[in-house]
Amino acid sequence: MVPGDLVISPAEHKSRIEKIRDQLRRSRSAALYLTNPTRILYTTGFSHISTERPLALVIPQDGSIFMMGPHLEEDHVKQDSSLIGEFFSYPDYPGTIHPIRHFVKILKEKGLAGSKIATDSFDGAAGGWGYRGPSLRDLLKRSKMVDGKGIVDNLRWVKSRQEIYLLKESSRWAEKAHDLLMENIAPGRHDALIGMKASYDALTRMMKKLGATYRQLKWGLSPVDVGCRGQVGPGSAIPHAVFSKRMIRRGDVLVTEAGVEVGGYKSELERTVVVGRAGQRERKCFEVMLKAQDAALGSFKAGTPCFQVDTAARKAVESTGFAGTLRHHVGHGIGIDGHEPPWLDPGDRTIMKTGMVFSCEPGLYIPGLAGFRHSDTVEITKNGMKFITEYPRSLEELTV
């Protein structure tokens, strides 16, 4: 990747496809049939809005890659993906002939009926949005369909240099967006409104700086998302809050987040912010949360089982009397999806490898008081880890 390029290069996509084809040959599968939009984006660079309308990408062992989908996507594919050699369209869903029956016809014409086909959906469609239809596996009775989700997903665990570059660019703009959020936080304001303003201002600056080099790939009204998401005051004790009914008040603890999509990738930056002055109890909780994150960060290293990171954070909290306030595992893989395996969880024994990327976000949640959580995105190295997100972590620097 040449600095300035803000998408994965065609050469890297071709390399991914060759790795997939190598796996198909080893498993003696004739093709990989994909329906999941994230897997399609990772493989080809083609991004689309997955709806009730079935769409599938087929990667044969040899020959042209082809896609089957609704007519409304035909020009989109031709415009945005040179790697997809052919597109076979149907009018719309559900149609007088169901789309999956169209797909069966194409697969037969391609000589794949009766072959072993790896897939991420035995139904033949991603589903959702009220979708109903016959199963592709039932209609292709002569074919042997096998689970192929891991063919793509396992490639995603270790990030390439291009992926790390995009995550760092994402972090760079997320940090600027969070600075703007901090400037807008004040008592008497609603978190949704200050988040919208900071997001707008950050996107304006980003588009002015990047111009035509930037291309949004993930579905959303804006590639910039910064705010509190309802994690305001006592509402910050709900890790996945959605909306707050109250205005920000002096003394509130806020859990903030900033994410910017670059080339389909988004880093994770979250901070605990105090409005005004932290009380004694809030200060203590903040210190314990930071202690837990420091312990987790210190345990990252290639060759370490994922569960040990979670263990390190929990041990750091046990002696403080706050052990019961930990409500979730310490973190997760991150990249083209916001949450990806492996998981920093007691039940995950995956061995970390150089180039894996994780969020690190142990959180303390005290009902009626507040929640306390920093989240940083880190890259695993041979001897430890590197921060991808580089943002202040101390209480003094995060007091408005």
pLDDT digits (tens, 9 = 90+) for 153-196: 999 999 999 999 999 999 999 999 999 999 999 999 999 999 99
DSSP state of 130: T
Q: Quick one: how many helices (H) and strands (E) in the chain?
A: 10, 17
Q: Which residues 6+ apart lie within 8 Å of 311 measured at CB?
A: 299, 346
User: With bands split at pLDDT 50, 70 and 90, how would you rate the model's confidence at 4?
Assistant: low
Q: Would you list the domain boundaries of the chain? A: 10-155, 161-387
What is the percentage of the chain residues whose pLDDT exceeds 70?
Answer: 99
Q: What is the C-alpha to C-alpha distance for residues 373 and 273, in angstroms, rounded to an integer?
A: 9
Identify the residue whose tokens are 């794949």: 112
Mean pLDDT of 321-326: 92
Cβ neighbours around 357 below 10 Å, total: 24
Is residue 174 within 8 Å of residue 267, measured between CB atoms? yes
Q: Determine the Cα–Cα distance for residues 151 and 243; give it in Å rounded to an integer.
A: 38
- The candidate with the shortest Cα–Cα distance to 365, out of 227, 276, 248, 272, is 272
DSSP 3-state of 224: strand
Q: Which residue has the tokens 């709806």?
A: 51
CATH class of 161-387: alpha beta
Alpha helices per DSSP H over the chain: 10-27, 37-44, 74-80, 99-109, 136-139, 149-156, 161-184, 191-210, 280-299, 306-318
Residue 219: per-residue pLDDT: 83
Task: Give the pLDDT score at 38.
Answer: 96
State percent of the chain over pLDDT 90.
Answer: 95
Residue 294 has pLDDT above 70, yes or no: yes
Residues in contact with 29: Cβ distance below 8 Å, sequence separation at least 6, in sequence order: 61, 115, 116, 117, 118, 146, 148
The CATH number of 10-155 is 3.40.350.10
Q: How confident is the model over 142-151, as pLDDT tens digits? A: 999 999 999 9
| pLDDT higher than 60, residue 2 | no
**pLDDT band at residue 221 under the 50/70/90 scheme:** confident
Indicate the DSSP class of residue 236.
G
- Region 289-297: mean pLDDT is 98
List pLDDT tens digits, range 180-189.
Answer: 999 999 999 9
Pairing of strands 144-147, 116-119: parallel
* Positive/negative CA dihedral, 43, 155, 217, 70: positive
Q: What would the pLDDT profile of 51-92 be if each residue is shown by its tens digit?
A: 999 999 999 999 999 999 999 999 999 998 899 999 999 999
pLDDT tens digit sequence for 335-378: 999 999 999 999 999 999 999 999 999 999 999 999 999 999 99
Q: What is the pTM of this model?
A: 0.95
